[in-house]
């Protein structure tokens, strides 16, 4: 089969796992979806009647402003389909930012395969991102540096490396994507899917970033609730994660979804994530994430970030057992961390710890403390 007749959607994951570089960078899939390959593991998709992925732009600029400027320019192909018709969102669906977090990758792969097989009709313009191909092939969280600590310009503070290059590349692609192809501003939404390193009292939870300019609305929380998310944690703490970057820089409705625990390919219980899979399919096929087929309205626990525990020096100690689940509660007065003369003491009647990790580098977050909304 030639690349011209080969489904880019069906082979999205296998191309990455096999380090295959298809000869074609753009085309119309046999299922009738326009696609454009921006980089390894990164496909921009749009329905034929919507278009947007067949417009060719000069993307030689390597900064946000340059990429966005070209993306707003006049397409070279005057016969390109009109992107004003059809879709409501400029959507980003990302996974594999950490290479060993395979459940989200399998979820996205299943969605793309069903689109390719005409079992699911794509009605939105979407950028599908497999974040860290090298780490996926190695089956490791990351190889050089945690990619999810390199966004929002953080890559500029690190020595050049493949991870730094990838973060910079993804920022340029995202800027170009959100600039659009027709100058129309649509709702921007980014779902970044992960699996957790440790167990959690809530198996499926969402970190929902916001800024004073771009606070998350109730409708976004309702959409996540309908996806069987058991808990949400709202944060306005500046961050260098992928989802915070798209929220703060582009005003996107963003979230980091944590779905179960790390497992190898083929070792995930995907039925545990049927709710998020169904919600993504509703959304991408033109429906509403919040409109469950069974009509139920779920109410996950809602938390907000009260504080972050940051490791400052090599003297840092986190008084939390290694097997502590995410969202473990601690009463007021509990001393959880010591760093030289500094301590972290629980000040609310109860605080729960999320992402405890005493082994991070100095200057990085060693835990997040949340309280009920």
Active site residues per annotation: 258
Classify the C-alpha dihedral 363-365-369-373 as positive or negative: positive
Angle at 40 between CA 124 and CA 282, to 5 degrees: 25
> Distance from CA of residue 244 to its chain's centroid?
10
Q: Is 182 exposed, middle or buried (0-12, 13-18, 19+ CB in 10 A)?
A: middle
HSE at residue 120, side-chain half, CA atoms within 13 A, is 24
With a CB cutoff of 8 Å and minimum separation 6, the contacts of 184 are 83, 84
Pairwise CA distance, residues 303 & 237, whole Å: 14
φ/ψ of 36, rounded to 5, equals -140, 130
| Residue 282, token pair as written in the block | 């509703």
Sheet of 317-318, strands arranged across: 317-318, 335-339, 342-345
Are 158 and 150 in contact by the 8 Å Cβ rule? The answer is: yes
CB 220 within 8 A of CB 247: no
Could you give the CA distance from residue 89 to residue 108 in angstroms, rounded to a whole number?
18
Q: Do the annotations mark residue 190 as ligand-binding? A: no
Residue 326, strand partner residues: 200
- CA neighbours closer than 13 Å in the CB half-sphere of residue 22: 29
Residue 132, C-beta contacts closer than 8 angstroms, at least 6 positions apart? 96, 97, 98, 99, 142, 147, 163, 166
Whether 98 has a binding-site annotation, put simply, is: yes
Q: Does the annotation flag 194 for ligand binding? A: yes
CB neighbours of 140 closer than 8 A, spacing ≥ 6? 99, 100
Residue 211 CB coordination number (10 Å):
14
In the block, tokens 């009109």 appear at 82
User: Which residues belong to the annotated binding site?
Assistant: 98, 101, 194
User: Which residues belong to the annotated binding site for Zn(2+)?
Assistant: 98, 101, 194
């Amino acid at each position: 089969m030639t690349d011209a007749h080969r489904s880019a959607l069906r082979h999205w994951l296998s191309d990455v796992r096999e380090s295959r570089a298809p000869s074609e960078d753009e085309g119309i899939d046999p299922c009738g979806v326009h696609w454009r390959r921006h980089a390894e593991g990164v496909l921009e998709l749009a329905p034929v009647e919507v278009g947007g992925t067949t417009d060719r732009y000069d993307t030689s600029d390597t900064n946000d402003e340059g990429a966005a400027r070209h993306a707003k320019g006049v397409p070279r192909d005057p016969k390109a389909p009109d992107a004003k018709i059809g879709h409501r969102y400029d959507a980003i669906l990302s996974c594999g930012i950490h290479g060993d977090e395979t459940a989200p990758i399998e979820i996205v792969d299943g969605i793309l395969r069903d689109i390719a097989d005409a079992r699911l009709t794509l009605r939105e313009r979407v950028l599908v991102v497999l974040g860290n191909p090298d780490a996926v092939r190695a089956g490791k969280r990351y190889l050089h540096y945690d990619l999810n600590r390199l966004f929002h310009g953080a890559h500029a503070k690190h020595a050049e490396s493949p991870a730094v290059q990838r973060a910079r590349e993804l920022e340029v692609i995202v800027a170009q994507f959100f600039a659009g192809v027709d100058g129309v501003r649509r709702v921007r939404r980014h779902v970044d899917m992960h699996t957790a390193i440790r167990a959690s009292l809530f198996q499926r939870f969402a970190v929902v970033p916001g800024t004073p300019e771009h606070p998350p609305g109730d409708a976004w929380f309702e959409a996540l609730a309908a996806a069987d998310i058991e808990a949400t944690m709202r944060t306005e703490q500046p961050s260098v994660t992928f989802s915070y970057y798209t929220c703060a820089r582009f005003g996107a409705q963003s979230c980091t979804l944590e779905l179960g625990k790390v497992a190898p390919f083929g070792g995930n219980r995907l039925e545990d994530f049927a709710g998020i899979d169904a919600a993504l399919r509703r959304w991408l096929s033109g429906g509403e994430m919040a409109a469950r087929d069974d009509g139920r309205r779920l109410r996950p626990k809602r938390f907000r970030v009260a504080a972050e525990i940051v490791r400052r020096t090599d003297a840092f100690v986190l008084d939390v057992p290694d097997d502590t689940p995410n969202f473990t509660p601690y009463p007021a007065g509990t001393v959880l961390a010591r760093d030289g003369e500094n301590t972290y003491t629980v000040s609310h009647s109860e605080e729960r710890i999320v992402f405890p990790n005493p082994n991070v580098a100095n200057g990085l977050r060693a835990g997040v403390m949340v309280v009920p909304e």
